[in-house]
């Protein structure tokens, strides 16, 4: 099965700044997904990242806040823009049946 | 996308078989049933996937009745390291868009 390297694993950021999370897959995957997970809660899908086209966002998530790049079939980034404390969460990427290890974001 | 219902929590002891049942009454014809395991501070890990009848791998078995409105994940002889949250999902195969429920928090006791 594929292996996904996600980084950073954690970060503490100032409000108003942006953080870009990267996911590298060791094999090509058609679709990649970005999720948010509050501690002790389930996963909420943010968007689907498609290579060669704009990401598809779920209700409640917008491109200006969570811009996504998918330059090829093995890589994707999610940016959390203009952060506020409410953005503090764990962010996860997935491709195929595999997930990254997550990014624990704390906004102060 | 079909929604799933599974117990919020379960308790077991080392060496026992654990069966976690998931209800998915509105499963579509082309939906598969997929189970994931998640440990704290880690991403979910794929356990098993099936469409109908029984699927078995080195980790677990998945039992799906003919009407496919439910499924049961069976973990043989659990150990302390099986303490985790287990998610049941239904949807297209190959990790396509899935809706995640609350999962079942399994606690394995010595």
Residues of B with CB under 8 A from a CB of A: 34, 41-46, 49, 87, 94-103
**Closest Cα partner for A77 from A41, A32, A107?**
A32
Q: Which residues of B touch A42 (CB under 8 A)?
A: 87, 100-103
Residue with tokens 């079939």: A73
* pLDDT tens digits for range B14-61: 999 999 999 999 999 989 999 999 998 899 999 999 999 999 999 999
Residue with tokens 């679709």: A31
List, in order of start, the domains of chain A with CATH numbers.
4-107 (2.60.40.10)
List, in order of start, the domains of chain B with CATH numbers.
9-109 (2.60.40.10)
The minimum CA-CA distance between A30 and chain B, rounded to whole Å, is: 9
- Yes or no: say if A94 and A79 are a contact pair by the CB < 8 Å rule: no
* pLDDT tens digits for range A8-36: 999 999 999 999 999 999 999 989 999 99
Measured CA to CA, the distance from residue A101 to residue A91 in angstroms comes to 9
- pLDDT band per the 50, 70, 90 thresholds, residue B96: low
Residue B82 has a pLDDT of: 97
């Amino acid at each position: 099965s594929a292996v996904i390297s996600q980084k950073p694993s954690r970060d503490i950021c100032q409000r108003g700044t942006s953080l870009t999370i990267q996911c590298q897959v060791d094999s090509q995957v058609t679709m990649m997904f970005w999720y948010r997970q509050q501690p002790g809660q389930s996963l909420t899908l943010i968007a689907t990242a498609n290579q060669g086209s704009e990401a598809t966002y779920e209700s409640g998530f917008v491109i200006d806040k969570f811009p996504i790049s998918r330059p090829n079939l093995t890589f994707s980034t999610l940016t959390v823009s203009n952060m506020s404390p409410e953005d503090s969460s764990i962010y996860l990427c997935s491709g195929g049946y595999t997930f990254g290890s997550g990014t624990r974001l704390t906004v102060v | 996308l079909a929604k799933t219902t599974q117990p919020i929590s379960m308790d077991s002891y080392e060496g026992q078989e654990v069966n976690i049942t998931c209800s998915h009454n509105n499963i579509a014809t082309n939906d598969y049933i997929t189970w994931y395991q998640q440990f704290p501070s880690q991403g979910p890990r794929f356990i098993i996937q099936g469409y109908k009848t029984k699927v078995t791998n080195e980790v677990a078995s998945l039992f799906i009745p003919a009407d496919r409105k439910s499924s049961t994940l069976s973990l043989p002889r659990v150990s302390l390291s099986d303490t985790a949250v287990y998610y049941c999902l239904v949807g297209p195969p190959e990790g396509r868009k899935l809706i995640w429920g609350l999962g079942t928090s399994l606690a394995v006791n010595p």
